[in-house]
């Protein structure tokens, strides 16, 4: 099988320990494992800090869908869509019914609209998605879409075993939503999310076997993830 990878740093990006300029390097753990099992990654448009909406747009306009059979989507924090596109016409068009008041409801709506976007791409190109909740936890109440060939709602929850698990993964994007005057979200909801995020941050920083750089899964965890993915895909 041939794969396209989209997503954020959870696809394999990590801070470069030998570069003092805070640059990033890419660990080809997914490509290497898939190659070992006779598969190939022909396209990888993932970027550090990328949003789900931004990656879907890149997928639509910057790749050749004839080059692969499946799209592996490392689903990231839904809050990034808001912080990246706030004040733009793109945000108004993609998310016309955002309340900017009810935080968790808006994040569910953001996922819904992004999944509808992915469904349109699937309808046009007939390329199914493998959707893995990485830095973002997927709302399982809204996952009944034909574009989804295989789904893991929250890989991070499986790794961390944290409960309650935040919808997002890192503090800074969510903090912007309470600090910026462009948003008027329910402060208690965001404070609850921030508390959960701080618990996750502490766990990630103190478990190097699971999070090798304190921010991303350790390379050895990708093997078990992809093994499960391939096995269950073959059983279908």
Torsion angle of alpha carbons 29, 46, 114, 58, nearest 10°? -150
| Residues facing residue 70 across a β-bridge | 3
Q: Which fold has domain 2-161+219-235?
A: Rossmann fold (3.40.50)
This prediction has a pTM of 0.96
140: three-class secondary structure by DSSP: coil
Average pLDDT over residues 148-155: 98
The span from the CA of 66 to the CA of 114, in Å, is 22
Q: In the predicted model, what is the mean pLDDT of the chain? A: 96
Provide the angle, in degrees to the nearest 10, between the axes of the packed helices 187-205 and 103-125: 70
The token duo for 114 is 């992004």
Per-residue pLDDT at 214: 96
Residue 3: pLDDT above 90? yes
Tell me what the mean pLDDT of segment 50-63 comes to: 98
DSSP β-bridge partners for residue 85:
none
pLDDT for residue 17 is more than 90: no
Residue 117 confidence (pLDDT):
98
Picking from 133, 126, 203, the residue whose alpha carbon sits closest to that of residue 163 is 203
Looking at the predicted structure, is the pLDDT value of residue 22 above 90? Answer: no
pLDDT band, residue 160 (cuts 50/70/90): very high
The pLDDT-based confidence of 18 (bands split at 50, 70, 90) is: confident
Task: Provide mean pLDDT across the span 133-146.
Answer: 98
Q: What is the mean pLDDT of residues 28-40?
A: 96
Instruction: Round to whole Å and give the CA distance between 12 and 27.
Output: 5
| Residue % of the chain over a pLDDT of 70 | 98
The answer to whether residues 72 and 30 touch, using CB atoms and an 8 Å cutoff, is yes
80: closest CA among 51, 115, 109?
51
Please name which of 195, 171, 199, 175 lies closest in space to residue 185, comparing C-alpha atoms: 175
Task: Identify which of 46, 52, 115 has the alpha carbon closest to the alpha carbon of residue 80.
Answer: 52
Residue 78 pLDDT level (bands cut at 50, 70, 90): very high
**Do residues 174 and 181 lie in contact, with contact meaning Cβ atoms separated by under 8 Å?**
no
The domain spans of the chain are: 2-161+219-235
Q: What percent of the chain has pLDDT over 90?
A: 93
Instruction: Tell me what the mean pLDDT of segment 38-60 comes to.
Output: 97
Average pLDDT estimate for 149-170: 98
pLDDT at 152 > cutoff 70: yes
Of 107, 132, 144, 97, nearest in space to 221 by CA: 132
């Amino acid at each position: 099988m041939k794969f396209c990878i989209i997503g954020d740093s959870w696809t394999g990006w990590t801070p470069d320990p030998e570069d003092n300029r805070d640059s990033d390097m890419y660990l080809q753990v997914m490509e290497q494992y898939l190659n070992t099992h006779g598969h190939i990654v022909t396209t990888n448009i993932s970027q550090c800090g990328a949003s789900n909406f931004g990656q879907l747009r890149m997928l639509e306009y910057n790749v050749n869908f004839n080059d692969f059979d499946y799209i592996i989507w490392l689903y990231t924090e839904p809050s990034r869509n808001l912080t990246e596109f706030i004040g733009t016409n793109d945000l108004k068009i993609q998310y016309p019914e955002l309340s900017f008041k009810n935080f968790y409801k808006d994040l569910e709506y953001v996922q819904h609209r992004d999944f509808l976007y992915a469904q349109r791409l699937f309808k046009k190109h007939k390329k199914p998605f493998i959707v893995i909740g990485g830095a973002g936890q997927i709302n399982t109440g809204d996952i009944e879409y034909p574009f989804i060939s295989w789904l893991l709602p929250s890989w991070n929850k499986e790794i961390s075993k944290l409960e309650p698990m935040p919808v997002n993964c890192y503090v800074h994007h969510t903090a912007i939503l309470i600090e910026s005057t462009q948003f008027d979200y329910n402060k208690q909801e965001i404070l609850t999310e921030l508390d959960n995020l701080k618990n996750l941050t502490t766990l990630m920083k103190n478990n190097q076997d699971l999070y090798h750089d304190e921010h991303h899964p350790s390379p050895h965890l990708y093997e078990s993830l992809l093994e499960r993915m391939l096995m269950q895909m073959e059983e279908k």
